Amino acid sequence: MNNPDPRIYVAGHRGLVGSAIVRALRARGYTNIVTRTHDELELTDQDAVRAFFRAERIDHVYLAAARVGGIHANNSYPAEFIYDNLMVQANVVHEAWRAGVGRLLFLGSSCIYPRLAQQPIREEYLMDGALEPTNEPYAVAKIAGIKLCESYNRQYGTDFRSVMPTNLYGPGDNYHPQNSHVIPALVRRFHEAKAEGAREVVIWGSGKPMREFLYVDDMAAASVHVMSLPLESYAAVTDPMHSHINVGSGNEVSIHELAHLVGEVVGFEGRIVFDATKPDGTPRKLLDVSKLRSLGWSANTPLREGLHRAYAAFLAVQLADATA
Ligand SMILES: NC(=O)C1=CN([C@@H]2O[C@H](COP(=O)(O)OP(=O)(O)OC[C@H]3O[C@@H](n4cnc5c(N)ncnc54)[C@H](OP(=O)(O)O)[C@@H]3O)[C@@H](O)[C@H]2O)C=CC1
Ligand SMILES: C[C@H]1O[C@H](OP(=O)(O)OP(=O)(O)OC[C@H]2O[C@@H](n3cnc4c(=O)[nH]c(N)nc43)[C@H](O)[C@@H]2O)[C@@H](O)[C@@H](O)C1=O
């Protein structure tokens, strides 16, 4: 019989996705959740990861720890993006197998797919063409993560699953002015422009790229849903090696439309201008989410509502920082 309250390790529990996964697990009544901060457990250190799994007797793992960032961070620190991600996932997957972990969820990213993939992007388009250069090292690491899980499943019969999220946003995001993703970057930039009474806000690139966005609590719900499925159900829609599955909202907007929407949510009334000297990245990446829908899950937070919640979370952080 399945253990109703498995011992669950959420790696990266202080990050955007990991913190939402912990919220989702607690809301569903799971109480046996194990966490370690980065300072307490360095996941690139194999000996430390081995000792952790040996001591903790974990049943399930959510692997939401990774080196993560937006287009500028990926383009500026390619060595860290490939090295850290390869090491973290190799250590966690290998030591989880050694320790007999029953089920693991690896979080990849929609940037694993070819830059000019047919849209919407189906899971089987993986490795069908060249990757987007601004994030190729990160994407190569994430592809290796999928293949790690597949290989352990094939050779050792493990149950290691992989989800490929589209661009995420929400409470707990990284608001670094350069290294963050577009939504937290714009929330902060519009907020500061409004506070300073600035006449214009500059957005990177042409404004033409299309992106699909998913609110992070929807992502967490999808992760818990995928981990709760019987293996036969998951394996029936993934390929025979129990490969990856896309997670998205099914809707896309241009960066131009997004900028106007964030400006509206924040209440900025000035001009929005585009700096075409900055990179656009992939022109379009809309995921085909029919496999996940066939398994009974779909997103339910519209972008405008998610942006209002994300801005409220940003304001709460500002307030806490100001009163600290
Ligand atoms: N955000 C997005 O738009 C998307 C994210 N994803 C994927 O979702 C997952 C979670 O991303 P997200 O929550 O946004 O990322 P965050 O950067 O918000 O969180 C990552 C967490 O992992 C921890 N971490 C990083 N490196 C190590 C390490 N070497 N040892 C221990 N802990 C470490 C970080 O700790 P610390 O901060 O202390 O370093 C942080 O708590 C990743 O796999 C990412 O690739 C996929 C698609 C889109
Ligand atoms: C999730 C995904 O995240 C990264 O890829 P990306 O989709 O290109 O993500 P992004 O959020 O950084 O940018 C989206 C778009 O928005 C434009 N843009 C405008 N103005 C700002 C801005 O101020 N900041 C940022 N970051 N982008 C901006 C930007 O030029 C681009 O056209 C990957 O490296 C990879 O890590 C990955 O998997």
pLDDT at 241: 75
Asked whether 200 and 272 are in contact (CB, 8 A), the reply is yes
Which backbone phi and psi does 316 adopt, to 5 degrees? -65, -40
Chain segment 202-215, per-residue pLDDT in tens: 999 999 999 999 99
Residue 257 is encoded by which pair of tokens?
């439309």
Residue entry with tokens 């952790």: 52
Cis peptide bond prior to 120, omega within 30° of 0: yes
CB 12 less than 6 A from any atom of ligand 1 = yes
Residues sharing a CB contact under 8 Å with residue 136, sequence separation 6 or more, in sequence order: 78
Chain segment 157-181, per-residue pLDDT in tens: 999 999 999 999 999 999 999 999 9
Chain segment 217-228, per-residue pLDDT in tens: 999 999 999 999
Residue 96 has pLDDT above 70, yes or no: yes
pTM of model > 0.95: yes
Which backbone phi and psi does 138 adopt, to 5 degrees? -65, -45
Q: Which domain holds residue 80?
A: 8-323
Residue 138 bears catalytic tag: yes
Measure CA 320 to chain center.
25
pLDDT at 4: 82
Q: 164 lies in a domain?
A: yes
Cβ density class 222-238: b for 16+ within 10 Å, e for less: bbbbbbebeeeebbebb
Question: DSSP letters of 137-148?
Answer: HHHHHHHHHHHH
What is the rounded end-to-end Cα distance, in angstroms, of the chain?
Answer: 48
Residue 142 is encoded by which pair of tokens?
């994430």
Mutation to probe ligand 1, out of 38, 83, 112, 217 (largest number of atoms < 8 A from CB): 38
Q: 128 lies in a domain?
A: yes
Q: 32 lies in a domain?
A: yes
Residue 189 has pLDDT above 90, yes or no: yes
Q: Would you call 249 helix, strand, or coil by DSSP?
A: coil
Ligand with an atom nearest the CA of residue 284: 2
Q: Which residues are annotated as a binding site for substrate?
A: 189, 204, 211, 280
ipTM above 0.90, yes or no: yes
Q: 286 lies in a domain?
A: yes
pLDDT at 135: 97
Task: Single out the residue of 228, 233, 210, 223 nearest to residue 280, CA to CA.
Answer: 210
CB 255 less than 6 A from any atom of ligand 2 = yes
How many domains, the chain?
Answer: 1
d(CA 220, CA 226): 10
Ligand with an atom nearest the CA of residue 78: 2
Residue 115 has pLDDT above 70, yes or no: yes
- Indicate which CATH number applies to the domain containing 308: 3.40.50.720
Classify strands 103-107 and 200-204 as parallel, antiparallel or unpaired: unpaired
pLDDT band at residue 240 under the 50/70/90 scheme:
confident
Asked whether 182 and 253 are in contact (CB, 8 A), the reply is no
| Chain mean pLDDT for the chain | 97
Residue 250 has pLDDT above 60, yes or no: yes
CB 71 less than 6 A from any atom of ligand 2 = yes
Arithmetic mean of pLDDT, 253-277: 98
- Go through the chain and tell me how many residues it has: 324
Asked whether 46 and 203 are in contact (CB, 8 A), the reply is no
d(CA 301, CA 289): 15
Closest ligand 2 atom, residue 180 Cα: 26
Backbone dihedral region for residue 233 (phi beyond 0: left; psi -120 to 50: alpha; all else: beta): alpha
Arithmetic mean of pLDDT, 180-202: 98
CB 222 less than 6 A from any atom of ligand 1 = no
Arithmetic mean of pLDDT, 120-132: 96
pLDDT at 324: 82
- For residue 98, the tally of other CB atoms under 10 A from its CB is 12
Chain segment 1-44, per-residue pLDDT in tens: 478 889 999 999 999 999 999 999 999 999 999 999 999 999 99
Q: 255 lies in a domain?
A: yes
pLDDT at 239: 79
d(CA 67, CA 203): 24
Residue type, 19: S
Q: Kindly provide the residue ranges of all beta strands, DSSP E only, lying in 90-182, ordered along the sequence.
A: 103-107, 160-165, 167-169
Q: 1 lies in a domain?
A: no
Q: 3 lies in a domain?
A: no
